[in-house]
Amino acid sequence: MSTQALPSEPGPARRTVVAAVGGVGLAAALAACGDSDSSDSAKTSGDGGTGGAAGSGAGAAGGGVLAKTADIPQGGGKVFADQGVVVTQPTAGTFKAFSATCTHQGCMVKDVADGTINCPCHGSKYDPATGSVTAGPAPRPLPAKTIKVEGDSIKLA
Ligand code: FES
């Protein structure tokens, strides 16, 4: 039993011999072995490189742009429910962003209309320029969110 196992396993020994002798056939076997080793390591480093590049690309594309400036009506705004953000343009070229979660009981504000950000649940209204409460039961202003305007893109910072 053990005598059969031994001849089939002398990997290191065979490798040493091949290195010393440089036999073509055995060298090929060694090269094959070496190939699989090196492709493994190449694969690992390749994955790392690709992953890093893809990650930074996705971050730039996915994390960033919330809206185009043209999407935000001047004197009004737009609710981005997925991001929980309401973006307003109180005066031309000035963009503001606030949490879209009503400070009363946590409903998502519905829209920006008639000069206010409006919560549908109990009628709270907020100032689109400052987020402060202008009407309704809301106890606090909408917290501001930080955005960046780059060209015609509005990005969540
Ligand atoms: Fe917005 Fe009540 S949750 S007014």
CA distances from 91 to 61, 113, 121, 133 (A): 28, 14, 27, 19
Kindly tell me the sign of the dihedral angle through the C-alpha atoms of 85, 91, 92, 93: negative
Does the residue 17 lie in any domain? no
**CA–centroid distance, residue 110 to ligand 1 (Å):** 10
Does the residue 26 lie in any domain? no
Whether residue 98 is predicted with pLDDT greater than 60 in this model: the reply is yes
Question: Per the structure, how many domains does the chain have?
Answer: 1
What is the model's pLDDT at position 157?
Answer: 87
Q: How confident is the model at residue 54 (pLDDT cuts 50, 70, 90)?
A: very low
- Over residues 94-99, the mean pLDDT reads 98
What is the model's pLDDT at position 5?
Answer: 47
- Residue 144, domain CATH: 2.102.10.10
pLDDT tens digits, residue range 22-31?
Answer: 445 544 444 4
Does the residue 130 lie in any domain? yes
Does the residue 18 lie in any domain? no
Q: What residue ranges line ligand 1, CB within 6 angstroms?
A: 102, 104-107, 119, 121-124, 136-138
Residue nearest to atom 4 of ligand 1 (CA): 122
Residue nearest to atom 3 of ligand 1 (CA): 105
Q: How confident is the model at residue 66 (pLDDT cuts 50, 70, 90)?
A: very high
Does the residue 131 lie in any domain? yes
CA distances from 30 to 13, 21, 27, 39, 55 (A): 12, 12, 5, 14, 37
Does the residue 121 lie in any domain? yes
Whether residue 154 is predicted with pLDDT greater than 80 in this model: the reply is yes
- Over residues 94-106, the mean pLDDT reads 98
Q: Which domain holds residue 71?
A: 36-156
Does the residue 47 lie in any domain? yes
Does the residue 115 lie in any domain? yes
